Structure 1
Amino acid sequence: MKHNVIAAHKVIGTIIGIIVFIVLFKYLAIQIGDTSDNVTLAHAWLSLITAIFGPISGAITAFVGHATSDTLTNNGTAWWTWVIADGLFGLFIGLVTKRLGIFIGKLTTRKLVLFNVWQLIANIVVWLIVAPLGDYWVYNLSLGTAFKEGLILVIVNFLMIAIVGTILMKLYQHFFVE
């Protein structure tokens, strides 16, 4: 019985996570200059979702949230290289939060610093390797453009997660974790 309650909790949490991710990603985003990149709180939210529900929930939340947002924005089409990259990002930071045991015991400064170092590494791998190379191979986008947009996302996502994601985790720990 306990396993079923935990599984239902993760499914419902993931669905809510996806809905909030879509709203943050699509409707509360600010475009960065002449790029297709946006400043959004979606990845800060994703860091909390992964810390609560784990890496599979994080991957599903980012993948489905990004694909849905793209589909709503781009006349029914998704930019699949970035959707896949976002799903991988959710998986990576989910694995990090699980490994660090973010909400097991006290949420220490050490855990938060390690989390932010690892989320920076995940951002670099996903947005400076996976997404740009995917854009180059699949969409024939120039490597210069792809890497420029990837670098912008590394910086923006890192800062949003380091600041807002950390605050969300601290608030969650304070109000919901014994």
Structure 2
Amino acid sequence: MKNNSIKTVVATGIGAALFVIIGLFVNIPLFSNTSISLQYAVQALFAVIFGPIAGFFIGFIGHMVKDMFAGYGIWWSWVLPSALVGFGIGLLKNRLQVEKGIFGKKDIIIFNVFQVLVNILAWALVAPIGDILIYSEPANKVFTQGFIAALSNSLTIGVGATILLAVYAKTRTQSGSLTKD
């Protein structure tokens, strides 16, 4: 148990650092401070491997620090959805078996249906409501931003994290695949 806790803390630190670096230096602007954010593919990979707590804190710490470095202040209404995406996808840790080298078509479908639902909840609902309640932003603007963020993050995770998870699973030894000569 203690070893897993240490792994989770280390993975959270590395994941949050990657979230910040990728978020600051690798993004493609789309609409009004909304961009294709490749860090969510990495967050999803870490969340599936290390679970919902790691996924949550990678998103929370990573997004908060990224906002601090970006210079526009911390947008809590977007930090929380990043954390929720990591938490939600992390719930798949025990459902998917990437650690055992298994990530087939059925797993890919389950992963992607689930991550799309999590992204819609986080970005098309939580983020806009937070923007309205915390920052008094206009509803039409923030719901458009939220929808675009949900769509772009779903596509980014759908392509990027699916590839990362498939590659990661191939590096794992499938149980029963080793035989004694």
Q: 2:6 aligns with which of 5, 8, 29?
A: 8
2:39 is the alignment partner of 1:42: yes
Q: 2:126 aligns with which of 130, 134, 145?
A: 130
2:106 is the alignment partner of 1:110: yes
TM-score (norm 2): 0.90
Q: Distance in 2 between matches of 1:40 and 1:82?
A: 13
Q: Give the aligned length.
A: 173
The answer to whether the Cα contact below 8 Å between 1:103 and 1:177 also exists between their aligned partners in 2 is: no
Q: Distance in 2 between matches of 1:169 and 1:137?
A: 36
Q: Distance in 2 between matches of 1:68 and 1:176?
A: 32
Residues 52-105 of structure 1: CA deviation (Å, up to 9, x unaligned): 110000000000000000011125x2001110111111111111x224224254
Q: 2:21 aligns with which of 20, 23, 47?
A: 23
* Aligned residue type for 1:119: Q
2:159 is the alignment partner of 1:166: no
TM-score (norm 1): 0.92
* Aligned residue type for 1:14: T
The answer to whether the Cα contact below 8 Å between 1:51 and 1:102 also exists between their aligned partners in 2 is: no
2:77 is the alignment partner of 1:81: yes
Aligned position for 1:156: 152
- Give the structure with the larger helix fraction: 1
Residue 90 of structure 1 aligns to a residue whose secondary structure is helix
* Aligned residue type for 2:128: P
Residue 98 of structure 1 aligns to a residue whose secondary structure is coil
Residue 32 of structure 1 aligns to a residue whose secondary structure is strand
* Aligned residue type for 1:36: N
Aligned position for 2:179: none
Aligned position for 1:69: 66
Q: Distance in 1 between matches of 2:90 and 2:4?
A: 17
Deviation at 1:128, TM superposition (A): 0.9
Give the root-mean-square deviation of aligned CA atoms. Answer: 1.4
Structure 1, unaligned runs of 5 or more: none
The alignment-based identity, stated in percent, is 30
* Aligned residue type for 1:67: M
Deviation at 1:26, TM superposition (A): 1.2
Aligned position for 1:59: 56
> Relative to 1, partners in 2 of residues 1:59 and 1:74: Cα closer, same or farther, differing over 3 Å?
same
